[in-house]
């Protein structure tokens, strides 16, 4: 059996106080090496900004590609003309960083960027500066732009091939690597186009070389749908069952510690919180939870309440996680509602009406938070994490996905198909579909409820819902064909003079 390919990563301090990370490995018995620089905007082609953790993660990816026989030495960027300090044209990295700062602050554009949007721009700029970083703006032409696009496409394709072949590729933070998709590549090129457009306005370049169809990337339209009413009910029931599964009971013969652990776990405390409460080691608490058959490691987070709010009122995930208890009005004589004070668009700032069932769910949810000792004041988060802070978008998505998977298993057990791919946005579209029916297809009211400035999404759901809502189509179709058949049968037979049937008309 051949020995597995090995490699090394050695940090080296440079005269300017930054480090390089020398990667050494073998390819087909020959020594190979790569150098990654800590210095941002490095012109060697590595892109700069590396640290030791990211360098070792990259080494693991290189070794995986070597074992699969698909590794290719990265090609350095084309020779860059000297750019003296006295020249007026800035280099791409410096101008791009300045542009992003102004974009985030709202100096460029019509408003400051939200944190998630700013992070998206930073990610795009990191890809761009890794390639264009040291180029003067006026030396970036159409051919160079096409080379960058080709590199993005090839890198993504090679990474997909490596993952399909079984390679364990990781990103700079050690997470499983996800190759760039068409939408991400399109976004990177759009940011590049915006930077060069700003450079054109600032008269650093004579034209925007990133314009034109050659740099366009076709992005497939995602197949977005919504749940049927019975499917939504199945998901909500599954989420409720997951909350109920946390209720743990200890047998009469259980020890005092096991009984205490069961009682605190039923209240929704996590193992670490239980251990602190009873003065025992966390391993002891975990042992008793396992013996009691509890869902170890999960405290109460309001799975059902989260799914109910998404499915019965349709907020965006960002609006859901920022919702405070003081913004919810459950006993208002004018109707229960919650306030969205900050949203993706100006239209998103709104009051959202709450159904009676959702009122009861939220009352029970807030009462459970109070019994857990979590903050329930006006400024407290309606859906906090186990430490009382805001829940993350990723966690909300995970909760919806787990509820959908659990609901799918229950439906399969009944001989029914499972739920389709379900996300938090699926529940938002589901709310729109049901709200349209409940309000006699009042598109304007539903748009106001979900905070839409543009009717595109609402009308998209409207069109899909109209097709689904006309359930009598098949019955009516068969009825028309059947009536036509009966009419033909009722016609008398035409006879010829000889008494024989007349020949059929051609």
Task: Please list the residues that pair with 34 across neighbouring strands.
Answer: 23
In this prediction, residue 295 has a pLDDT band, given cuts at 50, 70 and 90, of low
Please check whether residues 270 and 216 belong to one and the same domain.
no
Report, as an integer, the average pLDDT of 350-372.
89
The lowest-confidence range among 36-50, 59-73, 145-159 is 36-50
Please check whether residues 60 and 127 belong to one and the same domain.
no
Q: Which one is predicted more confidently, 13 or 270?
A: 13
Domain boundary pick from 220, 249, 275:
220
pTM above 0.75, yes or no: no
Please check whether residues 268 and 348 belong to one and the same domain.
no
Q: Percentage of the chain surpassing pLDDT 70?
A: 85
Within a domain: 504:
no
Q: Total domain count for the chain?
A: 4
Q: Cα separation of 76 and 246, whole Å?
A: 56
Please check whether residues 176 and 287 belong to one and the same domain.
no
pLDDT tens string 468-504: 655 566 677 778 788 888 887 787 766 544 455 455 5
Q: Which of 372, 272, 276, 354 is nearest to 313 (CA)?
A: 354
Within a domain: 82:
no
Please check whether residue 41 is in contact with residue 80, taking contact to mean a CB–CB distance below 8 angstroms: no
Domain boundary pick from 161, 194, 220:
220
Q: Which one is predicted more confidently, 456 or 25?
A: 25
Report, as an integer, the average pLDDT of 211-227.
84
Domain boundary pick from 76, 95, 117:
76
Within a domain: 148:
yes
Please check whether residues 106 and 204 belong to one and the same domain.
yes
In this prediction, residue 77 has a pLDDT band, given cuts at 50, 70 and 90, of low
Within a domain: 441:
yes
Q: Cα separation of 199 and 203, whole Å?
A: 6
For residue 430, the tally of other CB atoms under 10 A from its CB is 24
CATH number at residue 335: 1.10.443.10
Report helix, strand or coil for 350. strand
The answer, yes or no, to whether residue 129 has pLDDT greater than 50, is yes
Please check whether residues 284 and 350 belong to one and the same domain.
no
Within a domain: 495:
no
Supply the pLDDT for residue 317.
Answer: 92
Please check whether residue 409 is in contact with residue 423, taking contact to mean a CB–CB distance below 8 angstroms: no
Please check whether residues 93 and 192 belong to one and the same domain.
yes
Within a domain: 503:
no
Return left, alpha or beta for 373; rule: phi > 0 is left, psi -120 to 50 is alpha, else beta: left
Please check whether residues 430 and 314 belong to one and the same domain.
yes
Q: Percentage of the chain surpassing pLDDT 90?
A: 34
Please check whether residues 195 and 244 belong to one and the same domain.
no
Within a domain: 494:
no
Supply the pLDDT for residue 84.
Answer: 39
Which DSSP helix (H) or strand (E) runs through 451? none
Please check whether residues 288 and 334 belong to one and the same domain.
no
**Domain residues for 389?**
302-488
Q: Which one is predicted more confidently, 296 or 109?
A: 109
Within a domain: 23:
yes
The answer, yes or no, to whether residue 86 has pLDDT greater than 60, is no
Supply the pLDDT for residue 426.
Answer: 93
CATH number at residue 194: 1.10.150.130
What DSSP assignment string belongs to 45-107? TT-S---HHHHHHHHHHHHHHHHHT---PPPPPPP-----TT-SSPBHHHHHHHHHHHHHHTS
Please check whether residues 9 and 71 belong to one and the same domain.
yes
pLDDT tens string 372-429: 778 899 999 999 987 788 899 999 999 999 999 999 999 999 898 999 999 999 999 8
Instruction: Name, in order, each residue with C-beta under 8 angstroms of 346's C-beta and a sequence gap of 6 or more.
Output: 453
Please check whether residues 456 and 311 belong to one and the same domain.
yes
């Amino acid at each position: 059996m051949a020995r597995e390919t090995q490699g090394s990563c050695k940090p080296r301090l440079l005269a300017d106080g930054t480090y390089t990370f020398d990667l050494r490995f073998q390819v087909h018995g020959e020594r190979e090496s790569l150098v990654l620089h800590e210095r941002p905007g490095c012109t060697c082609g590595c892109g700069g900004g590396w640290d030791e953790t990211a360098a070792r993660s990259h080494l693991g990816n290189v070794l995986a590609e070597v074992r699969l026989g698909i590794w290719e030495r990265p090609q350095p960027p084309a020779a860059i003309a000297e750019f003296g300090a006295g020249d007026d044209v800035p280099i791409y990295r410096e101008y791009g960083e300045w542009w992003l700062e102004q974009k985030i602050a709202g100096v460029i554009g019509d408003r400051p960027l939200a944190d998630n949007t700013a992070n998206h721009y930073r990610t795009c700029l990191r890809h761009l500066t890794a390639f264009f970083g040291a180029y003067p703006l006026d030396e970036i032409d159409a051919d160079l732009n096409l080379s960058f696009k080709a590199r993005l496409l090839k890198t993504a394709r090679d990474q997909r091939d490596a993952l399909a072949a079984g390679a364990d590729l990781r990103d700079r933070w050690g997470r499983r690597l996800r190759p760039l998709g068409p939408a991400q590549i399109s976004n990177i090129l759009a940011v590049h186009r915006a930077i060069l457009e700003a450079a054109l306005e600032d008269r650093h370049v004579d034209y925007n070389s990133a314009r034109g169809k050659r740099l366009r990337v076709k992005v497939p339209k995602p197949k977005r749908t919504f749940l049927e009413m019975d499917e939504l009910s199945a998901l909500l029931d599954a989420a409720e069952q997951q909350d109920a599964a946390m209720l743990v009971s200890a047998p009469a013969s259980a020890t005092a510690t096991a009984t205490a652990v069961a009682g605190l776990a039923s209240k929704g405390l996590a193992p670490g919180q239980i251990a602190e409460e009873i003065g025992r080691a966390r391993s002891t608490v975990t042992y008793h939870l396992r013996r009691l058959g509890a869902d170890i490691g999960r405290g109460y987070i309001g799975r059902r309440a989260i799914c109910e709010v998404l499915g019965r009122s349709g907020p965006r995930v960002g609006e859901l996680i920022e919702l405070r208890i003081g913004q919810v009005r459950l006993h208002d004589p004018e109707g229960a509602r919650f306030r969205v004070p900050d949203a993706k668009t100006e239209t998103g700032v709104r009051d959202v009406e709450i159904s009676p069932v959702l009122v009861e769910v939220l009352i029970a949810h807030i009462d459970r938070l109070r019994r857990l000792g979590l903050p329930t004041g006006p400024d407290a988060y309606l859906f906090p994490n186990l430490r009382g802070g805001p829940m993350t978008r990723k966690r909300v998505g995970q909760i919806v996905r787990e509820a959908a998977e659990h609901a799918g298993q229950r439906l399969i057990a009944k001989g029914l198909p499972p739920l389709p791919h379900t996300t938090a946005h699926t529940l938002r579209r589901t709310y729109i579909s049901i709200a349209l029916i409940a309000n006699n297809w009042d598109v304007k009211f539903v748009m106001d409820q979900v905070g839409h400035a543009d009717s595109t999404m609402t009308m998209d759901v409207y069109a899909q819902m109209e097709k689904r809502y006309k359930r009598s189509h098949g019955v009516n179709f068969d009825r028309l064909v059947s009536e036509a058949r009966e009419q033909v049968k009722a016609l008398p037979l035409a006879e010829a003079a000889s008494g024989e049937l007349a020949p059929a008309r051609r």
